[in-house]
């Protein structure tokens, strides 16, 4: 995946989907992920906070089959070991997780490294330490991560101006507010409940894809 690491297209950020099994019910996560990709998802992150290692790996392998089939970038949230075990395209780490530089050392230069940031300083440091893209947020209040502090539109714009790597906005984004991000400079949106909490995942993904495209153009 060497070419992908160095040439991570900003278009891959357009509709970045983060998984959540909260609304899974009797469905299978890999099937839901496939629905999102068919609806326009451009990037998939597997986020698991409760699964043990073996179950995490098993789930990741199923998701990777889907993302490989469609040629969509696939990263693991937080867990570098799982990312390496399943040969995912990379890993996404937060500010409180393993340091960005340490994560880069562990995954090597050919894998994608995403980093969560909230300030211009954090964004510049992440880029300097080898991040391939950054996730900025929370841009709105979010029920998925109750401890997430929201950032201002001005801060979001400042971060977008400060770095050259792709940027995805995350946190409380839905079809009702995504267009409020017009003019910020972000390359796309990351969503969780906006898709997985809906009864028709395919239809909702198509709607958000279209809105994100309109937002980026703005």
Number of domains present in the structure of the chain: 1
Give this prediction's pTM: 0.94
Contact indicator for 67, 37 with CB cutoff of 8 Å: yes
pLDDT, the chain, mean: 93
Rounded CA-CA distance 21/57 in Å is: 15
Contact indicator for 117, 159 with CB cutoff of 8 Å: yes
Instruction: Kindly report the backbone phi and psi dihedral angles of residue 216, in degrees, each rounded to the nearest multiple of 5, phi listed first.
Output: -65, -40
Q: Is 26 marked active-site?
A: no
Q: Is 212 marked active-site?
A: no
Least confident of 7-11, 32-36, 102-106, 154-158: 7-11
Annotated active-site residue in 5, 64, 104, 116:
116
pLDDT tier for residue 149 given thresholds of 50, 70 and 90: confident
Annotated active-site residue in 145, 157, 198, 213:
145
User: Measuring CA to CA, which residue among 94, 98, 88 is closest to residue 59?
Assistant: 88
Annotated active-site residue in 10, 11, 21, 47:
47
Domain assignment of residue 11, given as a range: 2-217
Q: Is 157 marked active-site?
A: no
In tens, the pLDDT along 66-102 reads 999 999 999 999 999 999 999 999 999 987 666 899 9
CATH of the domain at 148: 3.20.20.70
């Amino acid at each position: 995946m060497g070419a992908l690491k160095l040439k991570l297209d900003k278009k891959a950020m357009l509709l970045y989907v983060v998984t959540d099994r909260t609304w899974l019910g009797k469905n299978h996560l890999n099937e839901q992920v496939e629905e999102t990709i068919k609806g326009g998802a451009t990037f998939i992150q597997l986020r698991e906070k409760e699964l043990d290692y073996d179950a995490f790996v098993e789930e990741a392998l199923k998701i990777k089959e889907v993302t490989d089939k469609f040629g969509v970038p696939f990263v693991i949230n937080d867990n570098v070991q799982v990312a390496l075990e399943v040969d995912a395209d990379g890993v996404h780490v937060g500010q409180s997780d393993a340091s960005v530089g340490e994560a880069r050392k562990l995954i090597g230069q050919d894998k994608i490294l995403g980093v969560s940031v909230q300030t211009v300083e954090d964004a510049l440091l992440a880029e300097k330490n080898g991040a391939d893209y950054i996730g900025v947020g929370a841009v709105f209040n979010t029920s998925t991560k109750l401890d997430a502090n929201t950032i201002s539109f001005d801060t979001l714009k400042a971060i977008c101006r400060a770095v050259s790597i792709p940027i995805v906005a995350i946190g409380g984004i839905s079809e009702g507010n995504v267009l409020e991000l017009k003019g910020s400079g972000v390359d796309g949106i990351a969503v969780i409940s906006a898709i997985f909490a809906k009864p028709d995942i395919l239809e909702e993904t198509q709607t958000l894809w279209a809105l994100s495209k309109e937002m980026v153009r703005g």
